[in-house]
Amino acid sequence: MTVLVLTMIFSVVFAIWWYWWRPCPRSPRTYPGALPIIGHIVEAIKYRNDIWSYMERIADYMTDECVQLRMGSHKIYVVSDPDEVGVIANTCLNKSFLYKFLIDVLGNGLLLSDVPTWKLHRKLLNPAFNQKVLNTFVNVMNVEARILVSQLKPVAGQGPANVKEFLIKYILRSVCRTSLGLEAKDQDMIGKEYAQAIDEIITIAVKRGLNVALHPSFVYNITSMRKREQELVTRIKNILNSIIQKRKSDLKITNSTNYDDGSVNGKFKPILDLLLHLSDEQYVLSDDEIRAHLNTFVAASFDTTSSTLQTVLLVLGSYPDVQERVYREINEVFGNKQELTKYDLPKLVYLEAVIKEVLRIYSIAPWVSRHIDTDIVFPKYTLRAGSTCILVLYYLHRHSSWGPDSKQFKPERWLNPDTLPTNPNVYAPFGIGKRNCIGKQYAMMTLKTSVAHIVRNFKLSADISQLYWKYEVILKPINPTLVSFTLRSEFKIFMYK
């Protein structure tokens, strides 16, 4: 009997192995180093804290612009050709299984929703992110940037300071004031507790992703990790529910329940107001969907924007000549004003070039992945339906079309559009194709406003060569983000009480 059971188990395992691992016609080459059953998991774990090295190792092998990786039973295609990336990104809109480990916390928001839901909700939410509405955020962005400058003042002249906590707190406050519409007195309702809960859940999701034994839900659901995840999800829901109820109460008091694509008397319209309007007036969104969208916006905003801002400050501190040029431009645009206006932000051309180059060279999202819904045939190989495809931004941002200096930090390249690559797919820090980031303009405005206020008041010193990344869905610094701040002589002129 025992022999029969073992034989049956072996037969099932072998059948699964043969189905997934057998060579298929016109398949891309398999990257070496795969182990039976678990595939390339060991390498992924090994290089998690040195992700750039792993990207370079795979790039050296990718002579045909695509290779095949294995993660348990999953076939994963790694694609770097810009034209092929464009085809995949606009053909296969469903996210891969890799994102599904975050479904309990992010729910059916824009990041994880299925294609029909994403198309409907993206159309409904687009008005909250048009430029007319975003321009009404500028005053609040200035206020929060000035508060950040005030908080950085005590560390000026004290040597290298870890800026991570300063920037996370700043971004969360800004999101609360703009996207959530909270008053200044309530802007800390989403704070350190929320940020820590999101960070821990992401860590759990990555650990699960790197352990193929935990991929099946029936296994994962009996683990202590799952129990902890549920505790964190409940904590986050409670925080968001309190925000939603607070905003509903505020709107009842002001009788402001209508939402259009503009503003009233210069007052901005937060994304939360639109979500509530769609629920109360148009009966489109459920309470769970409101919370999912809200959580997606807040989590994505603080995590990605704060990490990018850390890198921008490190880069400026490492390139004094670039910083000096940014400083001169900022002074010209500010003039004698204390705040930037919506008309000033487009004038910060060189600062925008610096931010774009940081996003190219130090993209905190190293890749995006899609589920292959149907066979995709390319001249050299075929990507099979049912597989996962990783579109590697790291390779696109260093594609040969950027020129022989593609791996160098060179913001000047953005000042002459005629010299930039013509293929739009080689620059994708906010995603590729139709399913890109809805908040990319909001993020750029936040980055430009905050950097302008910081550089106007401080001279920065840092060493970007000491920055090492670990993979936590996005890339995050392993070591403290150390920046030295020195007050500029003009500080008293610009500083606010």
Give 168-187 as a 3 state SS string.
HHHHHHHHHHHCCCCCHHHC
Q: What is the pLDDT of residue 344?
A: 96
Nearest to 389 by CA among 426, 430, 432: 432
% of the chain at pLDDT higher than 90: 45
Residues in a beta bridge with 476:
470
**To which residue do tokens 């931004």 refer?**
393
Terminal CA-to-CA distance of the chain, rounded, Å? 82
* Segment 359-369 mean pLDDT: 90
CB-based contact 369:390 (threshold 8 Å): yes
* Segment 405-423 mean pLDDT: 93
Interacting residues of 247 by C-beta distance below 8 A, sequence separation 6+: 180, 181, 182, 270, 272, 273, 276
- What ranges make up the beta strands (E) of 145-257? 161-162
Nearest to 476 by CA among 57, 229, 164, 47: 164
pLDDT digits (tens, 9 = 90+) for 155-179: 999 999 999 999 999 999 998 888 8
pLDDT at 257 over 60: no
CA 302 to chain centre: 9
Interacting residues of 462 by C-beta distance below 8 A, sequence separation 6+: 160, 313, 314, 315, 316, 317, 318, 482, 483, 484
- Is the model more confident about 351 or about 212? 351
Whole-number Cα distances in Å, 102 to 28, 44, 74, 97 = 29, 19, 18, 10
pLDDT at 351 over 50: yes
Tell me the C-alpha distance between 429 and 414, whole Å: 15
Q: Is 437 annotated as a binding residue?
A: yes
% of the chain at pLDDT higher than 70: 89
Q: What is the pLDDT of residue 264?
A: 42
* Segment 57-81 mean pLDDT: 79
Whole-number Cα distances in Å, 297 to 128, 178, 277, 369, 439 = 12, 11, 17, 20, 8
Please state the pTM of the whole predicted model: 0.90
Nearest to 398 by CA among 366, 368, 444: 366
**Ranges 6-15, 188-197, 484-493, most confident:** 188-197
Nearest to 202 by CA among 293, 308, 295: 295
Tell me the C-alpha distance between 202 and 103, whole Å: 11
CA 213 to chain centre: 27
* Segment 386-395 mean pLDDT: 90
**To which residue do tokens 């703009």 refer?**
178
pLDDT at 266 over 50: no
Nearest to 15 by CA among 26, 3, 7: 7
Whole-number mean pLDDT of the chain? 86
- What ranges make up the beta strands (E) of 314-450? 367-371, 376-377, 382-383, 388-392
DSSP 24-75: PTTPPPBPS-PBTTTBTHHHHHHTTT-HHHHHHHHHHH-TTSEEEEEETTEE
pLDDT at 76 over 90: no
pLDDT digits (tens, 9 = 90+) for 282-319: 667 888 888 899 889 888 888 889 999 999 999 999 99
Number of residues that make up the chain: 497
Tell me the C-alpha distance between 489 and 457, whole Å: 8
| Strand order from edge to edge, sheet including 161-162 | 161-162, 482-487, 458-461
CB-based contact 65:84 (threshold 8 Å): yes
* Confidence at 497, pLDDT banded by 50, 70, 90: very low
**Ranges 62-71, 94-103, 261-270, 395-404, most confident:** 395-404
CB-based contact 148:266 (threshold 8 Å): no
